Amino acid sequence: MSPHAISSPDFMPVLSRGKHRTPRSGGCFMEFASYLAGETWSDHPACTHPQLASLARMTNDCTSDAARSNLAALIPSVIGLRGDDSDEQRISLIVALRAATSALPVANLERQRALAVGILTCEHMLMRHSGGFSSGMRAQTRQAFAQAPDTEKWARHFIVEAGSFAHTKFTSRTADSIVRTAVQGIAEACDPDIDGRLNRLLTAAIDDCTTALAETDVAESATPTATATATAAESQAAPPLRTR
């Protein structure tokens, strides 16, 4: 399902923290997404990539009551942002990278160090994927580290000393740990615009996932054409077979 196939609802849901058994007791961001997608009421619907859904739940819960309703307009945008098994880890990395780079400038020192290592890990793992580490991701990383240069130096030294990349295994739990540290880092930061930062983080992550999945669709649609062209060229180049 395309994320653009669902339009904004005629009503704006009243969002609240936590998990709710039924809509009558309220609903969180992803529970309303499940409703709009026509799924069973759940905060873990199948219509959205698990890591993006996790970020949405955390953002919902860490946003203040006064500002949470501002997230409602984003709900239709996550419906259909799922991908298939081949997209699973790449999307988790993209969401984790966005969360970490967004939180790094405002998180406390302890969290900054964890996030910096997370950023470098995501960068390393994305370079190993077919989609690669795009120029946009590189700029995103550079911008974050420019605001915390000492933390970047510490993280690079830590990774060299620990030899982390030699046995790095990035799992959904790794991504979730990075995202959780990032959201908590923003939520507990000494910043006058915490709600705005959380909203912008979720918005940017949705845009990142939309772009990544669209690129995958384009690449997959181009593959059959390229294969057919190559096959035709081989057929024309091959000598005719002798018949008995």
Q: Where are the domains of the chain?
A: 1-82, 84-187+203-211
Predicted TM-score (pTM) of this structure: 0.83
pLDDT digit string, tens, across residues 79-91: 999 989 888 999 9
**188: part of which helix (H) or strand (E)?**
none
Distant-in-sequence, close-in-space partners of 164: CB < 8 Å, separation ≥ 6: 117, 121, 158
pLDDT score at 163: 77
What integer pLDDT is reported at residue 4 of this predicted model?
43
Looking at residue 23, its pLDDT comes to 79
Structure confidence at residue 86 (pLDDT): 85
- Are 41 and 23 in contact by the 8 Å Cβ rule? The answer is yes
**pLDDT score, position 109:** 97
Burial of 20 (0-12, 13-18, 19+ CB in 10 A): middle
Tokens representing 57 are 């739940």
For residue 15, give the DSSP letter.
B
Are 62 and 102 in contact, with CB atoms under 8 Å apart? no
Which segments in the chain show pLDDT lower than 50? 1-6, 8, 223, 225-228, 238, 240-244
- Residue 55 is predicted with a pLDDT of 98
The confidence score (pLDDT) of residue 244 equals 37
Residues 154 and 113: beta-carbon distance below 8 Å = yes
Give the residues across from 27 on adjacent strands. Answer: 15
What is the C-alpha to C-alpha distance for residues 142 and 148, in angstroms, rounded to an integer? Answer: 10
Using only C-alpha atoms, the chain has a radius of gyration, in whole angstroms, of 21
Give tens-digit pLDDT for 194-236. Answer: 999 999 999 999 999 999 999 876 666 654 544 445 555 555 5
Instruction: Give the residues across from 15 on adjacent strands.
Output: 27
